Amino acid sequence: MKPTNFAPALIIGLGLTLPTLAQIPDAPFLDEQPTLTREDADELLRLGREQQDLGNLEGSIEVLESALDLYTESYDWDGMGRAYNLLGFAYAQMDNFAMAEQMFEARVSMARRRDDLQGLMSGLNNFGTALLRRGKFTEAQAAFGEALAFAERTNSTPIRGLATSNLGLVEAARGNYSEAIAFYEAALPFRMRARDRIGEANTLNNLGDVYWAVDDYDNAIGTYGSALRLARQSGDVENWLRSIDGLVSAHRSVGRFLRTQELLEERLELSRDTGNLREELKTLTEFGELYVIAGEIEEAVRFYEGAIAIAQQLDDNRTASRLSNELSQILGDW
């Protein structure tokens, strides 16, 4: 017996009266949403990465969380891992290392469950970096050490360079500068052997930071300069900016304002060429600080006002308020 005949027969059998069509109340129409697919999640992931590159970190996080939800609903473990990774980077750039730690820890956990050794080694290094930035030196050392052990077991030259360099970061954070230099110098051959120019520039920047910390001006300048040349050649924006920052600090400390100005002009051009408003904001602020030191207050005011405008454009009210207070102090002392 067909189901379509069964229900009316049962109702009549129970002595119930069927309503006529005119007596049936109108049913609400369902506002059906289109089913989102893996391709939609991939597109959201791409948009999240794009927003991150542009410095719109809040927007990036919002889009990446949507992508993560879609990947989770479809049990797409690879997509989830990539989303966690990018979320970790976004939170790290916002200096929210507690959330970055959570995201990278989730990435590591997922890689362990799937026996994804490459993802595990990369994830451990990112996880360790977040731990390090939170002052958890022992935990960070353990994460980097585990990554290095896997890299040695699998003969992964790039990861050996990365993990060794990161162990140098731990020692530098502890103030053990001689040990840090030893790790960085040990990491550089692996970076070069892997033809990892980005990694090599990163390690050189780390080494420059240590030389700067021990007031070795000449070695700091030379090492940052080497990192800058590599970053320019490879178009590595992150290390390009970072090496400029190291050189700016070193040159400004000894009153070499003209060279500092030249470097900041390069930094400003790079920030604008890449459309990164947050880096442009940082550069304008450094320009303002430089001109305050040089006693050129009118120029300082101009750059501070530009920085405040960008902070407002980014809806970064905290930074806009801080810069406004600094500007008021400068004008008050003028």
Residue 285 included in any domain: yes
Residue 297 included in any domain: yes
- Per-residue pLDDT tens digits for 43-70: 999 999 999 988 889 999 999 999 999 9
**In which band, very low, low, confident or very high, does the pLDDT at 35 lie, cut at 50, 70 and 90?**
low
- Per-residue pLDDT tens digits for 84-111: 999 999 999 999 999 999 999 999 999 9
Residue 320 included in any domain: yes
Residue 293 included in any domain: yes
**In which band, very low, low, confident or very high, does the pLDDT at 39 lie, cut at 50, 70 and 90?**
confident
Question: Does residue 284 register a pLDDT over 50?
Answer: yes
Residue 305 included in any domain: yes
Residue 263 included in any domain: no
- Per-residue pLDDT tens digits for 226-281: 999 999 999 999 999 999 999 999 999 999 999 999 999 999 999 999 999 999 99
Residue 299 included in any domain: yes
Per-residue pLDDT averaged across 280-294, rounded? Answer: 96
Count of CB atoms within 10 A of residue 152's CB?
12
Kindly give, in sequence order, each residue whose CB lies less than 8 Å from that of residue 150, ignoring residues fewer than 6 positions away: 117, 120, 121, 124, 156, 159
- Per-residue pLDDT tens digits for 125-161: 999 999 999 999 999 999 999 999 999 999 999 999 9
Give the structural domain span for 304. Answer: 269-334
Per the structure, how many domains does the chain have?
1
Residue 42 included in any domain: no
Question: Does residue 19 register a pLDDT over 70?
Answer: no
Per-residue pLDDT averaged across 22-41, rounded? Answer: 56
